[in-house]
Amino acid sequence: MKKVLFLAIKDLKVLLSNKGNIFWVFGFPALFALLFGAIYSDAGKEPSGIKIAIVDEDKSEFSNSYISKLESEEALKISRAGRDEAIEQVRKGQIAAAVVLKKGFGDGFEAMFNSDEPKLEIAADPSRKMEGGYLQGLLAKAQFEALGDKFSDRKGLRSQIDLWRNDVKDSNDLDSKQATLYSNFFDSFDTLVKDVNDKNFNKGFKGNMLNFTKLDVSKEYNGPITPFQITFPQALLWGILGCTATFAISIVKERTHGTFERLRVGPIGLAHILGGKGLACFITCCLIICALYICAKTIFKMPLGSLLLFVLAILCTLLCFVGLMMFICTLGRTEQSVGGAGWALIMIMAMFGGGMVPLAFMPSWLLPFSHVSPVKWGILALEGAIWRNFSLTEMMTPCLILLAIGTAAFLLGVFSLRRQEQ
Amino acid sequence: MIKADNLKKRYGKTVALDGVSFEVQKGETFGLLGPNGAGKTTTIRLLCGLLKPDSGTVTLDGKTNPTLVEVRLSLGMVPQTLAIYEELSAEQNLYFFGRIYGLSGQRLKESVSNCLEIAGLTQRSKERVSKYSGGMKRRLNMVCSLLHEPPLLLLDEPTVGVDPQSRNSIFDTIEAMKKQGRTILYTTHYMEEAERICDRVAILDYGKILDMDSVSNLIDKHGGFSHMEAEFEKSPSDLDKIRQLIGSSNIQFEETKVKFETPRPMESLALLNRNGIHLKSLKIQSANLEDVFLNLTGRRLRD
């Protein structure tokens, strides 16, 4: 064990002897964390600032009211434009969508719900599907609110009921029995709207048609969730990934420079050498994590769900990536090949595991692939300890998967290394 | 002390060693002389257990497993590549390798100090190795293997790419080790080095030992005749008589000069002198290991 420690200390000395190394191992993950923090600084909030253009071809009182509802949405930034101009802006990627309120948009309920000839058109940027989907939700919400406004106006509602009654009278499709049923219903409805007192009318016909309360699924603690808390696991993972690549390359460097051979001739086994390398990688990762954690605590005031589970998540994640380091170092015989192949593998793991793009943005057919990425399980374990309020049992799934991946990669790496030696 | 018995090793379709056998006695300096790709490094790697032979056995100090800790502790290997950490200082390198060999405390300190002195690096011991010259790195590369004072040294072309001064320093160190009674196996493709250092030399080519003996015996057996170039005081009148006295078929006359090959140069000279043929100048080029290699393989060592 003493010799493993000597080997690890030597590796740390070699690592710290180079200012470039210090930056890439310690500075880069910190910068990455800050960058992620900035990118996802709105995490936990609703999206804001979706730019859309409204084309009001109806120019009715209802369309005006509808546009006002949309303008009151914080998530939208609305401009008014002509049809061609608005569509051109979408094509150029200047706005997410153009919404066209066609002539007749405000002509009562039929206009709003007529599926044969819709009075509302949306031209959305196909590359911004998430924003497009969110926009459709907001448009529907505004429609329901506008509808709610109509219901809250007795005069307007009664004239709408008159229109429905006339439709029933003029209809050739209904037999007399059915027509009588509808007429009786609309008469009663009209009487209700006319005679009900203000208190009951307001209770029954006014108010938000779509109303809900958001439930907070994050850990209960005193204080708000900081954006850094959400992005902290990703930042940690990037620090660990960088460190993994650095040490994998250092093993190859030892092999190409002959120091590995000198050590192999010494009175120590391959296990000592790899153990030393693993320990150095582990210690370096711990230092990175400590540095990032101190930074998160002092600068970003980041709260931590459970320190014990956090330590467990860190331990399992580190063991997994130390194992992966052993595998990565056997991907080539030169520093260049291992550097290239190692980073390619890391990028793929990060990409599929939610280290680059959140898993929610990933196409559904790609999602099953994320299960094999240790980045996913690392982030999940860290999130579980930081804000997902995981119990020890819940933590077991990501932790055991991380340990299994790490062990498999370590064994595969040692096997390949022994094979390459011969 | 070292015994290689019928070692065979292949890398895919390439035969690196094809039945190499030799024995090195305690205190002997044994050379493996051969061109690049002859199998010298593979032999060293097999001897220290870095590679497993396809067949054959290696015995070091009576033990057939070179990976045993007690065997490793008695072994010092100087690899051909610079196996030192350039990011660290010479002192840090030596302390690290010393600790790996189980040295500590005063013994480690003294050992490091001795090695720095042997390598001539005491003054610059705290400087980063990356700032050293090629020769300094080579010297450090060698002394890193001497820290634990191993009785058995395997040196794989330790003078590749060094300046004459550093080469001499390395030779001095090896000769000092030799005087201390260490057993040394030295690989090289420089015949001058083998002639200077080795008690016995094995000529290795394409993974086979062509012959193995002391340098003088090898030259006697395979070196061929010495080349002589003599200048007479006056132009000789009877060339046939000279031809008869020298007894060489390959003889060329050029006014007052004569060039010939002979297995016994001193006897030939004495014979000429006794017959009143006096020389003004004489140049003798004795056969060397280069000639031995040429005669054994039909190629030069550096071809």
Tens of pLDDT, residues B201-260:
998 888 999 889 988 888 888 877 778 888 887 777 777 777 777 777 678 888 788 888
Can you tell me the mean pLDDT for A283-297?
A: 87
With CB atoms and an 8 Å threshold, state whether B81 touches A258: yes
Which chain A residues have a beta carbon less than 8 Å from that of B84? 259
The listed CATH number (2.20.25.90, 3.40.50.2030, 3.40.1710.10, 3.40.50.2300) that belongs to domain A48-152: 3.40.1710.10
pLDDT grade for A399, boundaries at 50, 70 and 90: very high
Give this complex's ipTM.
0.80
Q: Looking at the complex, does the CB of residue A17 fall below 8 Å from at least one CB of chain B?
A: yes
Diameter of chain B measured on Cα atoms: 80
Beta bridge partners of B261: B227
pLDDT grade for A309, boundaries at 50, 70 and 90: very high
Tell me the nearest-neighbour CA distance from B116 into chain A, angstroms.
Answer: 19
Residue A221, pLDDT score:
46
pLDDT grade for B89, boundaries at 50, 70 and 90: very high
Here the tokens at position A286 are 């711990």
Q: Phi and psi for B281 in degrees, rounded to 5?
A: -150, 160
Q: Looking at the complex, does the CB of residue B51 fall below 8 Å from at least one CB of chain A?
A: yes
With CB atoms and an 8 Å threshold, state whether B48 touches A258: no
Helix or strand run (H / E) with residue B226: strand B226-232
Residue B152, pLDDT score:
92
Tens of pLDDT, residues A333-366:
888 888 888 888 888 888 888 877 766 667 777 7
Q: Phi and psi for A407 in degrees, rounded to 5?
A: -65, -45
Which chain B residues have a beta carbon less than 8 Å from that of A10? 85, 88, 96
Q: How are beta strands B152-156 and B75-78 bridged, if at all?
A: parallel
* Cβ pair A179, A233 in contact under 8 A: no
Flag whether pLDDT at A201 surpasses 80.
no
Residue B46, pLDDT score:
92
Q: Which of A214-228, A295-309, B192-206 has maximum average pLDDT?
A: B192-206
With CB atoms and an 8 Å threshold, state whether A265 touches B92: no
With CB atoms and an 8 Å threshold, state whether A6 touches B96: yes
Which chain B residues have a beta carbon less than 8 Å from that of A20? none
Here the tokens at position B101 are 């060999």
What's the mean per-residue pLDDT of chain B? 87
Here the tokens at position A10 are 């030597």
Tell me the nearest-neighbour CA distance from B33 into chain A, angstroms.
Answer: 22
Counted across chains A and B, CB pairs separated by less than 8 A come out at 64
Tens of pLDDT, residues A61-80:
888 888 888 888 878 888 99
What's the mean per-residue pLDDT of chain A? 81
A-contacting residues in B 113-132 (Cβ below 8 Å): 128
Greater model confidence, A126 or B106: B106
Here the tokens at position B251 are 């003889």
Residue B184, pLDDT score:
92
The sign of the dihedral angle between the CA atoms of A8, A14, A19, A25 is negative
Here the tokens at position A73 are 């949405």
pLDDT grade for A407, boundaries at 50, 70 and 90: very high
**Domain ranges within chain A, ordered by starting residue:** 2-42+227-421, 48-152, 154-206
A-contacting residues in B 176-235 (Cβ below 8 Å): none
Sequence-distant (≥ 6) Cβ neighbours of residue B280 within 8 angstroms: B231, B232, B233, B256
